[in-house]
């Protein structure tokens, strides 16, 4: 019997690979090592758990350990893979006692990413949070809940939750003022979550606008909803230090010298791939620091794959290796690798860095290359247009302004990217643009796509088509 | 100075052509002949005017005559073009007095379509309606309004509305029971409109399901919402006769022999292109009876174009000439022809027959080729799969079941068409499928599109991707 398919990491990419491998080849042994207790959970749902819209931690789990076992997968939680030996084709696993060796036939590294360690001075003070995982989410919600209403059991999550941390925060008086450092999508979603608990929210961002990856027009629209929601925005200000007496944060300090007294801080400055396993192996990392892979998710070492937040994937527009740590690419690549390992070679596809974010009632989306500098580096001559158009026929109740930006290459008209913001069915419309990127359409071709029209859902010219018309009309 | 660009028909296609021609070549004379009084109105909005969600008729007008004049277009309402002479390059126009001849440099036939004349026996009885145009909509809403609340001025529409008809219906006691003959999208939308006036609605359809163009899965979903809304459905029953004593309808009679007493009937069985102008000219009609055109909207006669509901266009999937009388193709083709005539040759694009319909709270969409017989006739070997998946992450409030059908060619995997139904952002997701058709994607490529994911809007695997996964997995 062949050595098993060994999966390192029990989240989206790892469990997708494990499950698909078993379905493709039911005779193949599959072992999953997960260093923590949580498996297969929805990172992107954590702000809504903190907010309280999602009631229990287990609501965020896609698969229970029991369901994994039912698929015939040997899942070992609390097992950390600390070394890979690609010569002997073994991994070294630590789980409490003596480390042991596990031989593999095929291996996938799906170790994910983590919040940047100590991103700013003072990050290790008490009541300074990051949001990367269910234990973080549990701690923050515990802290936001008044002590007399708090019960650790209400968080859900059974055996997996870090009870001691949650109970410590659950006993504290909830914060009145919170600083969120970093207005990426986690920062913006967490502003909504804190606001729902009537916390005075201050949102800091080094650049002039929030969600910089979504482009200027979306950033401007998000600024408007944040201000309408009474979130205090500090944009163009860099937080250089979290200050605290007695080990607990009590203020944030900016590069401008300004200070703000706070009860707590959430730092959402960035994440990094957990690529340490590749160190001292012939498994190559890419320029991003994530593991380099080919079209089938293979690393530079035969029979070793990587997927999810730890791996690079080719970019839909440029073909260049790209680190895009988001949910769908992780699931898709994991699933493809599982099929490949199971005997049915399947490409992992590419990433357009498509993303969506909800900012209070505003729906935002982005895909492809919006940044002009980056477009130029990839050999394009970018031209962009931003338009505002209705989400429905103008006469139909509920039509809402929808802002669309499209970027194309001046000479060829090739579509490079797009973004969207609006309150009515805006985010899902970015999928039209993402699919146009996948089909390598020019902006002229996008303008002629036969999209749907019905007064309650979409005007004759969908906002995406309006943007394509305007951008195409501006090209030589 | 060249002879003018003559536009026959003042609705979507005609006025798009006229406007774009003027913008492209501001020196070009443009004359628009419209036989009626209404111009540039939103057909698709008429059910919502009847329902009362859209208050005034003028809300449905995209352009006023004054706005058309401001664009430098010579608009002549009440002018019917009765003949085209492609030899002498003139049209004969009737407007009250003696017909006159108008020379043209370029000509566009944009005469639209009309409800089928006398589709069933008894169609000319009083209180039997069709819904094709604002005067029809005005008459039906007048009839639904209690006489003591009715005032013709409340309909809006100023000088254009057919006041005598509206006033006659406004004086009648509103109907208690109405039969809708034909459950295409107009029939379904009108069921909602009548229901809003507390009318007892009976919906008849010859085939087993409503909206047959949307495929079986959507049809089944629509049946469910119709029944929830207490619309009585008579599917698989053909209405063969509208019966009436004294000239007014009082019953519908089916092929099964069953009869139903009604106060009024709406017949929505079909429309036909107004292609009579091409008779006795070398302008060719296609197999559909609509005017045949090339990639630039040109007919078989040089300098004569056709667009909108009177014309055929190439199909996105098959390339075959297709009659697809919907709003976006009309606007797009008209606009392209205006640009071409103005000196900037622009293709009209193709049609995927993408359509959306709202059935009470259900959003439906369709695109491409769903019908297997038609797919086979076009040389494909169709395989279809239907799935149901959530519209959001399962844990996020408001996630709704979304049903997606995709059809692909067995051997090549080429995507042929798709449909969707659901209550949460379902309809706009059909645009992803439409764009995939435009990009000539295989279903495997669609499965790998990098669509957006955010718990409030879309699960990790958008329902369209779930369908693509399942269909692709079923292909050899």
pLDDT tens digit at each of 476 positions of chain A: 579 999 999 999 999 999 999 999 999 999 999 999 889 889 899 999 999 999 999 999 989 999 999 999 999 999 999 999 999 999 999 998 899 999 999 999 999 999 887 889 999 999 999 998 899 999 999 999 999 999 999 998 777 788 899 999 999 999 999 999 999 999 999 999 999 999 999 999 999 999 999 999 999 999 999 999 999 999 999 999 999 988 999 999 999 999 999 999 999 988 999 999 999 999 999 999 999 999 999 999 989 999 999 999 999 999 999 999 999 999 999 999 999 999 999 999 999 999 999 999 999 999 999 999 999 999 999 999 999 999 999 999 999 999 999 999 999 999 999 999 999 999 999 999 999 999 999 999 999 999 999 999 999 999 999 999 999 999 98
B452–A427 C-beta distance less than 8 A:
yes
Assess A440–B contact: CB distance below 8 Å, yes or no.
Answer: yes
Are B453 and A442 in contact by the 8 Å Cβ rule? The answer is: no
- Do B194 and B243 sit in the same domain of this protein? yes
Tell whether the model's pLDDT for residue B406 goes beyond 80.
yes
Domain count, chain A: 3
Q: B46 φ, ψ to 5°?
A: -60, -35
- Do A19 and A102 sit in the same domain of this protein? yes
Q: Is residue A385 part of a domain?
A: yes
Percent of chain B with pLDDT over 70: 100
Assess B319–A contact: CB distance below 8 Å, yes or no.
Answer: no
Q: Is residue A250 part of a domain?
A: yes
CA angle A115-A118-A119, nearest 5°?
A: 75
B431–A449 C-beta distance less than 8 A:
yes
Q: Which of B308, B429, B450 to mutate to test the interface with A (most CBs of A within 10 A)?
A: B450
- Do A206 and A166 sit in the same domain of this protein? yes
pLDDT score for A131: 92
Query: Which of B60, B347, B453 is the closest to A395 by Cβ?
Result: B60
- Do B203 and B229 sit in the same domain of this protein? yes
- Do A246 and A300 sit in the same domain of this protein? no
- Do A132 and A253 sit in the same domain of this protein? yes
- To the nearest whole angstrom, how far is the Cα of B296 from the nearest Cα of chain A? 13
Which token pair is B125?
Answer: 């009885």
Assess A450–B contact: CB distance below 8 Å, yes or no.
Answer: yes
Q: Which residues of B touch A454 (CB under 8 A)?
A: 44, 355-358, 427
pLDDT score for A1: 57
Which token pair is A347?
Answer: 């490409």
- Do B102 and B201 sit in the same domain of this protein? no
Residues 335-354 of A with CB under 8 A from B: 347-354
Q: Is residue A81 part of a domain?
A: yes
pLDDT score for B14: 98
- To the nearest whole angstrom, how far is the Cα of B428 from the nearest Cα of chain A? 7
- Do A440 and A462 sit in the same domain of this protein? yes
Assess B360–A contact: CB distance below 8 Å, yes or no.
Answer: no
Nearest CA in chain A to B58: A395
Burial B158-191 (b: 16+ CB within 10 A, else e): eebbbbebbeebbebebbebbbbbbbbbbbbbbb
Lowest mean pLDDT among A255-259, A422-426, B201-205, B460-464: A255-259
Kindly report the CATH number assigned to the domain that includes residue B439.
3.30.390.30
Residues 81-140 of B with CB under 8 A from A: none
- To the nearest whole angstrom, how far is the Cα of B30 from the nearest Cα of chain A? 22
Which spans in A95-184 are helix H? 134-144, 163-170
Ordered strands of the A401-409 beta sheet:
A355-359, A362-368, A415-422, A401-409, A382-390
Q: What is this structure's pTM?
A: 0.97
The 10s digit of each residue's pLDDT in B38-53 is: 898 898 999 999 999 9
Query: Which of B350, B356, B437 is the closest to A453 by Cβ?
Result: B356
Domain housing A282: 5-112+272-341
A434–B439 C-beta distance less than 8 A:
no
Q: Is residue A411 part of a domain?
A: yes
A328–B53 C-beta distance less than 8 A:
no
Q: Which residues of A touch B465 (CB under 8 A)?
A: 328
Are B111 and B8 in contact by the 8 Å Cβ rule? The answer is: yes
- To the nearest whole angstrom, how far is the Cα of B393 from the nearest Cα of chain A? 8
Which token pair is A330?
Answer: 């992780």
Is B151 exposed, middle or buried (CB count within 10 Å of its CB: 0-12, 13-18, 19+)?
Answer: exposed
Q: Is residue A347 part of a domain?
A: no
Which token pair is A332?
Answer: 């898709």
Kindly report the CATH number assigned to the domain that includes residue B202.
3.50.50.60
Q: What is the rounded distance in angstroms from the CA atom of residue A452 to the CA atom of residue A449?
A: 9
Residues 210-249 of B with CB under 8 A from A: none
Q: Which residues of B touch A429 (CB under 8 A)?
A: 428, 431
Residues 376-405 of B with CB under 8 A from A: 393, 395-397
Three-state DSSP class for residue A358? strand
Q: Is residue A120 part of a domain?
A: no
The overall longest dimension of chain B from CA atoms, in Å, is 71
The overall longest dimension of chain A from CA atoms, in Å, is 71
Assess B44–A contact: CB distance below 8 Å, yes or no.
Answer: yes
- To the nearest whole angstrom, how far is the Cα of A106 from the nearest Cα of chain B? 23
Is B230 exposed, middle or buried (CB count within 10 Å of its CB: 0-12, 13-18, 19+)?
Answer: exposed
Query: Which of A327, A363, A450 is the closest to B457 by Cβ?
Result: A363
Q: Is residue B214 part of a domain?
A: yes
Question: Which position among B21, B44, B254, B364 bears the catalytic label?
Answer: B44
Q: Is B364 a catalytic residue?
A: no
- Do A179 and A233 sit in the same domain of this protein? yes
The number of residues making up chain A comes to 476
Q: Is residue B468 part of a domain?
A: yes
- Do A322 and A447 sit in the same domain of this protein? no
The arithmetic mean of pLDDT across residues B308-313, rounded, is: 98
A462–B449 C-beta distance less than 8 A:
no
- Do B243 and B260 sit in the same domain of this protein? yes
Angle of helix A185-196 relative to helix A215-228, nearest 10 degrees, comes to: 10
- To the nearest whole angstrom, how far is the Cα of B398 from the nearest Cα of chain A? 11
Q: Which residues of B touch A462 (CB under 8 A)?
A: 428, 431
Percent of chain B with pLDDT over 90: 91
Domain final position from B206, B235, B269: B269
A119 versus B215: which is more confidently predicted?
B215
Q: What is the rounded distance in angstroms from the CA atom of residue A136 to the CA atom of residue A127?
A: 11
- Do A282 and A387 sit in the same domain of this protein? no
Closest CA to B29 of B341, B301, B346, B348: B341
pLDDT score for B158: 72
Q: Can you name the residues that pair with B106 across neighbouring β-strands?
A: B5
Query: Which of A349, A365, A436 is the closest to B452 by Cβ?
Result: A365
- Would you state the torsion angle of the CA atoms of residues B13, B17, B23, B29, taken in this order, to the nearest 10 degrees? -140
pLDDT score for B1: 56
Which spans in B197-274 are helix H? 215-228
Question: CA B442 → CA B320, B354, B449, distances in Å?
Answer: 20, 18, 11
Which value does ipTM take for this structure? 0.97
């Amino acid at each position: 019997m062949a050595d098993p398919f060994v999966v390192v990491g029990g989240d989206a990419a790892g469990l997708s690979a494990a499950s698909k491998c078993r379905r493709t080849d039911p005779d193949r042994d599959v072992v999953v090592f997960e260093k923590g207790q949580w498996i297969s959970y929805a990172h992107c749902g954590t702000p809504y758990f903190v907010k309280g819209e999602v009631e229990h931690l287990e609501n965020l789990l896609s698969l229970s350990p029991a369901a994994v076992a039912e698929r015939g997968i040997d899942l070992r939680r609390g097992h950390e893979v600390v070394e890979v030996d690609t010569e002997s084709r073994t991994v070294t696993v630590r789980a409490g006692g003596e480390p042991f060796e596990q031989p593999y036939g095929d291996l996938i590294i799906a170790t994910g990413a983590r919040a940047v360690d100590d991103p700013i001075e003072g990050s290790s003070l008490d009541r300074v949070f990051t949001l990367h995982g269910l234990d973080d989410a549990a701690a923050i919600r515990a802290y936001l809940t008044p002590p007399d209403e708090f019960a650790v059991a209400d968080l859900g999550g059974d055996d997996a939750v870090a009870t001691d941390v949650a109970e410590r925060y659950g006993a504290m008086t909830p914060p009145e003022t919170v600083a969120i450092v970093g207005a990426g999508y986690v920062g913006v979603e967490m502003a909504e979550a804190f606001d729902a608990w009537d916390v005075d929210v201050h949102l800091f961002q080094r650049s002039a606008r929030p969600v910089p990856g979504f482009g200027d027009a979306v950033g401007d629209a998000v600024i408007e909803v944040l201000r309408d929601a009474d979130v205090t925005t500090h944009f163009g200000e860099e937080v250089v230090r979290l200050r605290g007496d007695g080990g607990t944060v009590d203020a944030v300090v900016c590069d401008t010298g300004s200070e703000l007294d706070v009860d707590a801080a959430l730092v959402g400055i960035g994440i990094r791939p957990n690529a340490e396993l590749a160190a001292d192996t012939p498994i190559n990392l890419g320029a991003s620091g994530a593991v380099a892979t080919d079209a089938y998710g293979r690393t530079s070492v035969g029979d070793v794959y990587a997927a999810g937040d730890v791996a690079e994937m080719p970019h839909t527009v440029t073909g260049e290796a790209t680190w895009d740590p988001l949910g769908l690419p992780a699931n898709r690549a994991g699933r493809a690798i599982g099929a490949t390992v199971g005997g049915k070679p399947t490409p992992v596809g590419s990433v357009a860095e498509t993303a969506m974010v909800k900012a209070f009632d505003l729906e935002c989306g982005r895909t492809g290359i919006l940044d002009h500098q980056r477009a130029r580096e990839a050999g394009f001559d970018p031209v962009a247009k931003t338009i505002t158009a209705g989400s429905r026929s103008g006469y139909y109740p509920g039509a809402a302004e929808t802002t669309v930006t499209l970027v194309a290459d001046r000479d060829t008209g090739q579509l490079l990217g797009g973004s969207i913001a609006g309150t009515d069915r805006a985010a899902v419309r970015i999928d039209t643009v993402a699919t146009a990127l996948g089909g390598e359409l020019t902006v002229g071709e996008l303008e002629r796509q036969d999209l749907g029209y019905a007064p309650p859902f979409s005007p004759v010219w969908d906002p995406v088509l309006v943007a394509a018309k305007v951008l195409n009309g501006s090209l030589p």
